[in-house]
Amino acid sequence: MMNIILEPLQFEFMRNAIIIGILMGILCAIVGTYMIVQQMGMMAHAISHSVVAGLPIAYVMGFSLSMGAAIAGILSAIMLATIEAYSRVKLDSAMALILSEFLAIGVTLISILPGANRIDLVNILFGNILGVNQNDLIMTLIITIFIVLSVILFYKELLLYTFDPIGAQAQGMRTQLYYMGLVTAITLTVVASLQTVGSLLVIAMLVGPGVTAYLLVKELHEMMIFGSIIGSISCIIGMYMSYYWDIPSGAAIVLVVFTFFFIAFLFSPSHGVLTRPDLKEQVTNTWQQLMHNQK
């Protein structure tokens, strides 16, 4: 048993992957908690697709791919806010349009810009945490420290804005500034996650640990703490699955995240389908009715 745990740690890439996995578990849980409460899941989905458009431009111009991804993500969020504010188009429709448009732009530019076809689109979309290097590790560490410190310093303000935005605005808080701050945090998290789980699967890391913690605890800070633990453990287990079973690391991590959610969904002391009396009775009655209709 100990040999199974220790053998992969002999390799530097595995040690780097575990460190960055723990950081991503913390980062995604903290940002994802606010995102869930604010119902910004589709916003994160749109941003995660939009960052692809910035990659080929940054590559051709000689800039960091992370910088190009961040600029594209923030630009897509600004476009979404503008469309919502100055047109009759609903936000969900605008998100569907923007995410597909930016993704199409990115794929097209990778095909036509000279040298841009060297970008590994598969790794960008699905991630490869076992291929992280020191630069990825440092960037993720900086983003995680920045987000954690921001949450600690502005926790009371974020708490008020999250649960009572009208009251926050009445007290003179610049709510639009906090909104853009959350959008920026989501964008930075997506950028940091590109190498880990990829732009298509990052939404699961943002939502999964937070939603699982939501079924287990009641307070916002408890959601962030439990979500961080769940996210970090999921990354570590997923990496070991990828190492021993030769499966994509990003997909393995997301599968573990969903497993934790499904367990909480069934057995949560306060919200579990199989443990909460009223829900248990409702599920039993529904199942009996279905069986009766089949006879």
pLDDT tens digits, one per residue of 143-162: 999 999 999 999 999 998 88
Distance, in Å, from the CA atom of 150 to the CA atom of 234, rounded to the nearest integer, reads: 25
pLDDT for res 279: 62
**Would you give the DSSP letter of residue 34?**
H
Mean pLDDT of the chain: 86
Query: With 60 as the cut, is the pLDDT of residue 219 above it?
Result: yes
Q: What angle do CA 83, 88, 92 make, to 5 degrees?
A: 65
Residues 6 or more apart in contact with residue 153 via CB below 8 angstroms: none
Distance, in Å, from the CA atom of 254 to the CA atom of 231, rounded to the nearest integer, reads: 10
Backbone φ and ψ for 188, nearest 5 degrees, come out as -60, -40
- Contact between 272 and 264 under an 8 Å Cβ cutoff? The reply is yes
pLDDT band at 280 (very low <50, low <70, confident <90, very high): low
pLDDT for res 283: 63
> In this predicted model, which residue has the larger pLDDT, 209 or 289?
209
pLDDT band at 281 (very low <50, low <70, confident <90, very high): low
Query: With 60 as the cut, is the pLDDT of residue 295 above it?
Result: no
DSSP letter for each residue of 238-287 = HHHHHHHH---HHHHHHHHHHHHHHHHHHH-TTT-TTTSHHHHHHHHHHH
What CATH number should be reported for the domain holding residue 8?
1.10.3470.10
130-155 average pLDDT score:
89
pLDDT band at 262 (very low <50, low <70, confident <90, very high): very high
pLDDT band at 96 (very low <50, low <70, confident <90, very high): confident
pLDDT digits (tens, 9 = 90+) for 8-32: 888 888 888 899 999 999 999 999 9
Nearest to 181 by CA among 146, 211, 206: 146
- Contact between 18 and 239 under an 8 Å Cβ cutoff? The reply is yes
pLDDT for res 294: 60
Residues 6 or more apart in contact with residue 13 via CB below 8 angstroms: 130, 131, 132
Q: Which amino acid is at 176?
A: Q
Query: With 60 as the cut, is the pLDDT of residue 91 above it?
Result: yes
Residues 6 or more apart in contact with residue 147 via CB below 8 angstroms: 27, 30, 31, 185, 188, 189
- Joined together, the tokens standing for residue 276 give 């909460």
- Contact between 30 and 155 under an 8 Å Cβ cutoff? The reply is no
Q: What angle do CA 64, 70, 73 make, to 5 degrees?
A: 145
**Would you give the DSSP letter of residue 89?**
-
What domain range is 7 assigned to?
Answer: 2-294
Distance, in Å, from the CA atom of 164 to the CA atom of 166, rounded to the nearest integer, reads: 5
Distance, in Å, from the CA atom of 12 to the CA atom of 155, rounded to the nearest integer, reads: 36
**Total structural domains in the chain?**
1
Residue holding tokens 């960052």? 51
> In this predicted model, which residue has the larger pLDDT, 288 or 251?
251
Q: What angle do CA 98, 187, 227 make, to 5 degrees?
A: 120
Backbone φ and ψ for 9, nearest 5 degrees, come out as -70, -5
pLDDT digits (tens, 9 = 90+) for 158-200: 998 888 888 888 888 888 888 888 888 998 898 888 877 888 7
pLDDT digits (tens, 9 = 90+) for 60-80: 888 888 889 889 988 988 888
**Would you give the DSSP letter of residue 201?**
T
Backbone φ/ψ region at 72: left (φ over 0), alpha (ψ -120 to 50), beta: alpha
The reported pTM is 0.86
